[in-house]
Structure 1
Amino acid sequence: MATPPPASARHLLPLSLGLFQGALLLFFALFATYDEPSAAATQEEDGTRAVEQLPNLFPLFQDIQVMLAVGLGLLLAFLPRYGLSALAHNFLLLNVSTQWALLLQGVRHGRLRLGLHNVLAAEFAAVTVLISVGAVLGRTSPCQLLAVAFCEVPVYLASEWLVVTQLGVRDVGGTITIHVFACYFGLGVSKALFGTERRPAHPKETPTPRSDLLALVGTLILWVFWPSFVAAPCQPGDAQHRAILNTFLALSAGAVTTVVASSLLESGGKLSLGHLQNGSLAGGVAIGALADVPITLAASLALGSLSSLVCLLGFRFLTPFLARRLALHDQCGIHNLHGLPGILGAVASVVAVLVASKDTKRCQLSHADGSGVGGLLLVLG
């Protein structure tokens, strides 16, 4: 568990937060303004289209707010003596990281034209922080968590720009850019803070029925709103529709597979609530890389089931192995929920691209052959 800060550092948190908020206020006063494309559009159709997108985007934005502030906060409340702190720190990091990402967006472009898309992009950056700190949950002070946020957000923005903009990788649900990145950044923070320290599990780390119930409620909230998280970056229309359907199928298959696998892995055929809290969400992590791609519905179901199975096997075998051999501390099991399913989703997206490329070449060859035969028949006729 986290130790109380010394008396000399008692005012460090409010002082640092006050300075940060003051600097942000100054930046917004000088360099930020509303992004109103309907007023700035040179053509009336562009302005009308921008205004019409708001009713479609705002409900998704609300869903994501509930996911991050309530769902993820409750999911982190599985430690019985750290539930209130987990909720409070999650809420604080969400706000600080989002504002920090907005400021960095403005610095990058010279001026911040604030719109709902900017806020969503900033909240996606904040998600990486909320995931990463799960590796060191209960063992760090609020000031250390803020330091992680200030370091991680710019690194995430740079990596997201490299992967999506420069390399052209499609990742609407953040499987690679958010989940995989946040997982290994968090594990790196854990290794940097605790090194080769090995310690047995503390009795206070054992969840109680009440803390497990809170975490399960958080899981249910995340499960319900996860399709909105994946669909928000998609283009409205068919792509967004596919993203919602594929994500729902992956989550649903993952939930059923979690119950089956947990009952087989646990002694006496009992269902582990820890497995249910994490395995039920693994499908949403894996499907994000290809959620808007027209894959088959069976592929979404299969990916959801496989990702949940990988997640549970990671909790059962890989986490103890890494703790024993590498002294790697992962309090929330982010490697199993975000890292392994994220890698699986990345591999699945590569396979989907290769299959699509092969089908495209086959269609082109068939079209060429058909044109040749048709031309020959026309000449002979």
Structure 2
Amino acid sequence: SPGLRFRLPFVIILFQAIFLTLFSLFVTYNEHTDAAAQTNETDHSQNELYEIFPLFQDIQVMIFIGFGFLMAFMKQYGFAGVAFNFLTANFAIQWALLVQGFFNHYYHGKIHIGIYNLINAEFACATVLISLGAVLGKVSPIQLLVLALFEIPIYVTTEWTISEYLKISDVGGSMVLHVFACYFGMSVTRVLYRPGLKDGHSKEKSSYQSDLLAMMGTIFLWIFWPSFNSALANRGDDQHRAVIHTYIALSSCTLTTFALTSMVEKKGKINMALIENATLAGGVAVGTSVDMMVTPGGAFILGCIASVVCTLGFKYLTPFLAKHLKIQDQCGIHNLHGIPGIVGAIGGIITILLSSEDTYGLSLYETFPHRAPAHDDPKLSEMVRLLPVLKAGAGRSASEQALYQAATLGVSIGASVLGGFLTGLVLKLPILAQLPDEHCFDDEPYFEVPELEEKELNQIKISSENCEEKLRLNEN
């Protein structure tokens, strides 16, 4: 449309010019990437690139392939599902590098970046892509960029507040990432409620081919989720546990989902939409406790619970929210990220309440650094003698740490709901090129679609043939 033809390029070029200016003025290298920081004694094998690059690449696959193809499940919105995910992800990562840099890596007038900054930026990007799922097919690409523009600073501010003041454990992001992203997106879609779509849309459905694409996205996410959950865990046994727990939770979740989807369908057949989504819920639910001593059995249980709440959510809760609360959750992010994220928060609280030195040894204070004795506590010096890497903490008990975990869940939900509501109000502005209901869930307004062009030519040919036949009849 003319609105997109001029507004979308203008918005992209404007923001790229702003980002280029900010990168040029404020962004520089950290000690692992700065050539001037290296000497003849530098051990390049200790560069953080070799420590984390494989995990970074795994997360890249999740962001651009996993999320992208999972969003291609609608039969006439495949181009947009993949391409707009690609567009939004690149925008969000650039913006997150700057916003996170000013919060956490700004000193001597510069933002110092390395590969860890890229990973953290991709975590921030994941929140945007999850939120995008609630409004998929109902917003223009300009609105998606504005969504990312607002959500990234709100997410980073919330994450920084939780890290700075609540000091909790959530390396897989069940609360800080998944719950936040879910309720942010739910608030946005509530503000953007479309009465014309309350009875569905003819183009909203999937097809055989689109479900295959979405299932491919699911499998990529499933395979690489252990990297996502373990990337920010402490190196060594914590990270090792995170990989094992994530895999077990995903596996138990998958088998449970196959059983449940057959049970809840009237004819006992497997529902591909449930397989595409609910099989991933275990990775969300185990996120908070993933590096803790939750035990393999505990991870197995979390995966099963996540599958149950996610599957039943898709079957019963999503229609209820759409009908009674006017929340049109297009991809069911409440079922895949919101409820399993809350399950993960509860699982983390229970695991923390059961944690002790008997189970962890002194590494308890590495996994939960804020439970270590304070700097003025005489116990600290003795512990440091036994574990030299130990640092002073806040001296919290297990119950105190659990209360801070619960408070984090409340802060995450509150900040996301408020932020999503305000962002939704901005997205309603007419200048952002919101499409009418009849053009939702359709590639045609945005892309040159080969199949549609061929269909139009066939229709023209048929119409021409009909006209010629009528002329012959009239002549006779």
Instruction: Please give the TM-score of this superposition, normalised by the length of structure 2.
Output: 0.71
CA contact (8 A) 2:198 2:323 kept: no
Match of 1:89? 84
Deviation at 1:10, TM superposition (A): 2.6
C-alpha distance 312-44 of structure 1, shift in aligned 2 (>3 A): farther
Q: Could you tell me which residue of structure 1 aligns to residue 302 of structure 2?
A: 303
CA displacement, residues 239-292 of structure 1 (integer Å, 9 cap, x when unaligned): 110000000000011000000111111122211111111111000011111111
Greater helix share, 1 or 2?
Answer: 1
Kindly state the Cα deviation for residue 194 of structure 1 after the two structures are TM-superposed. Answer: 1.7
What SS is found at the alignment partner of 1:289? coil
- Partner Cα distance (1:197, 1:185) in 2: 23
Structure 2 counterpart of 1:215: 214
Partners of 2:171 and 2:232 within 8 A in 1:
yes
Q: Which runs of 5+ in 1 are unaligned?
A: 361-381
Quick one: which amino acid aligns to residue 253 of structure 2? G
CA distance in 2 between partners of 1:359 and 1:237 (Å): 19
Does residue 1:20 correspond to 2:15, yes or no?
A: yes
What is the deviation of 1:53? 3.7
Alpha-carbon displacement from aligned partner over 1:178-197 (angstroms, at most 9, x marks no partner): 11000000011101112766
Aligned 8 A contact 1:31 1:106 in 2: no
* SS, match of residue 291 in structure 2: coil
Larger radius of gyration: 2
The alpha-carbon distance between structure 1 residues 49 and 290, as it changes in their structure 2 partners (threshold 3 A), is farther
Alpha-carbon contact 1:253-1:304 (below 8 Å) kept: yes
Distance, in Å, in 2 between the alignment partners of 1:68 and 1:101 is 14
Equivalent positions of 1:66-215 (< 5 A) are 66-108=61-103, 109=106, 110-194=109-193, 199-215=198-214
| In 2: Cα distance, 1:98 partner to 1:133 partner | 15
Query: How many angstroms does 1:56 deviate by?
Result: 2.7
Is 1:31 aligned to residue 8 of structure 2? no
- 1:111 Cα deviation (Å)? 1.8
Relative to structure 2, which stretch is displaced further, 284-293 or 194-203? 194-203
Seen in structure 2, the aligned counterparts of structure 1 residues 350 and 63 have a Cα distance that, compared at 3 Å, is same
CA distance in 2, matches of 1:133, 1:251: 23
Cα pair 2:70 2:213 within 8 Å, conserved: yes
What is the CA RMSD across the aligned residues, in angstroms?
Answer: 2.3
The 1:197–1:111 alpha-carbon spacing in structure 2 relative to 1, beyond 3 Å, is farther
Distance in 1 between residues matched to 2:64 and 2:14, nearest whole Å: 24
Question: Cα distance 1:275–1:210, how it changes in 2: closer, same or farther (>3 A)?
Answer: same
What SS does the aligned partner of 2:157 have? helix
What code does the residue aligned with 1:355 have? L
Structure 2 Cα separation of the partners of residues 124 and 50 of structure 1: 26
Q: Distance in 1 between matches of 2:304 and 2:4?
A: 47
Aligned to 2:237: 238
8 A contact 2:48–2:115 mirrored in 1: no
What is the distance in 1 between the residues matched to 2:45 and 2:76? 47
SS in 2 for 1:150: helix
CA 1:79/1:134 → structure 2, altered by over 3 Å: closer, same or farther? same
Describe the superposition over 1:6-52 as per-residue Cα deviations: whole angstroms up to 9, x where unpaired: x245311111111111111122222111112487879999x649825
- The separation in 1 between residues aligned to 2:323 and 2:70, in whole angstroms, is 26
Q: How does 1:210-289 map to 2 (within 5 A)?
A: 210-289=209-288
Structure 1 residues 201-248: Cα deviation after superposition (integer angstroms, max 9, x where no partner): 112111111111110010000000000111111122111100000000
Amino acid paired to 2:23? F
> For the residues of structure 2 that align with 1:223 and 1:44, how far apart are their CA atoms?
43
> Closer, same or farther in 2 for the Cα pair 1:353/1:41, shift >3 Å?
farther
Q: Partner residue of 2:409?
A: none
Tell me which stretches of 4 or more aligned residues in structure 1 moved more than 6 Å: 38-45
1:359 CA displacement:
6.9
Asked whether the 8 Å contact 1:196–1:326 carries over to 2, the reply is no
Return the alpha-carbon distance in structure 2 between the equivalents of residues 351 and 197 of structure 1: 44
- How far apart in 2 are the matches of 1:43 and 1:34? 16
Q: What code does the residue aligned with 2:73 have?
A: F
Residues 38 and 51 in structure 1, CA contact (< 8 A), matched pair in contact too = no
- Measured against aligned partners, the alpha-carbon deviations of 1:329-353 in whole angstroms (never above 9, x if no partner) come to 0000000000010000001101111
* Highest RCO, 1 vs 2 (Cα 8 Å, sep ≥ 6): 2
Measure, in 1, the Cα distance between the counterparts of 2:148 and 2:121.
Answer: 12
1:10 to 5, 12, 15: 5
Aligned to 2:390: none
Please, which runs of 5 or more residues in structure 2 have no aligned partner?
A: 360-476
Structure 1 SS opposite 2:112: strand
Q: Distance in 2 between matches of 1:128 and 1:117?
A: 17
1:247/1:152 CA distance change after superposition, 3 Å:
same
Query: 1:64 corresponds to which residue?
Result: 59
Aligned to 1:374: none
Q: Which amino acid aligns with 1:342?
A: G
Q: Partner of 1:112: helix, strand, or coil? A: strand
Letter of the 2:58 partner, please give it: D
Structure 2 Cα separation of the partners of residues 44 and 118 of structure 1: 26
In structure 1, how many angstroms separate the alpha carbons of the residues matched to 2:4 and 2:134?
24
Q: CA deviation at 1:296?
A: 1.1
- For the Cα contact (< 8 Å) 1:258–1:308, is it kept in 2? yes
In the alignment, the residues of structure 1 paired with residue 173 and residue 227 of structure 2 have an alpha-carbon distance, to the nearest angstrom, of 13
Q: Give the distance between the partners of 1:164 and 1:343, measured in 2 at CA.
A: 19
